[in-house]
Copies of this chain bind each other. A is one copy, B any other.
Amino acid sequence: MTSGDSVTALVDAVVRNTFQVTGVLTRIGAENDLSLTQLRVLGILRDRRPRVTELAGFLGLDKSTLSGLIDRAERRGLLAREKSPDDGRVVEVFLTPAGRDLAQRLYEEVHRALAPALERLDPEQRTQLAALLEPLVGPG
């Protein structure tokens, strides 16, 4: 393996970074009585109105898992279901105003939590890092 070592070190860094950020997100979720998954649901619904199966697809979860998840969030008034007018089988999920508020607050909190570390990079490095991550995360 020619350039294998640089990739190995990078994989390690990426994985550690992942767990670290996950920890931050989990903490912020917990402070608002949200699991990491619920936090993510709110994030996804911020700019989408998916059907249940789509949402499950985004999350990589079984649709049956979403039933309970949506139930609980709906009971909390954070999101709502609506039957699709086009297809009687389909249920669309979307944020309520309260859910949108919370999502916005969470987003700001995440920003505040991660910004300090990112601000240790100078502006040039930031755009560089963003540019490097871009092809990794792909569209969406």
- CB within 8 Å of B: which residues of A? 3, 6-11, 13-23, 25-27, 40, 43, 60, 110-111, 114-115, 117-121, 123, 125-130, 132-138, 140
Contacts and interface: CB of A to CB of B under 8 A. Distances in A.
The A interface, classified by DSSP as helix, strand, loop or mixed, is: helix
A7 B115 contact: yes
B118 A10 contact: yes
Contacts of A111: 7-8, 11
B14 A25 contact: no
Contacts of A136: 17, 20, 117-118, 120
A138 to B, nearest CB: 8
Given A60-B23, A60-B26, A123-B6, A11 B137 contact: no
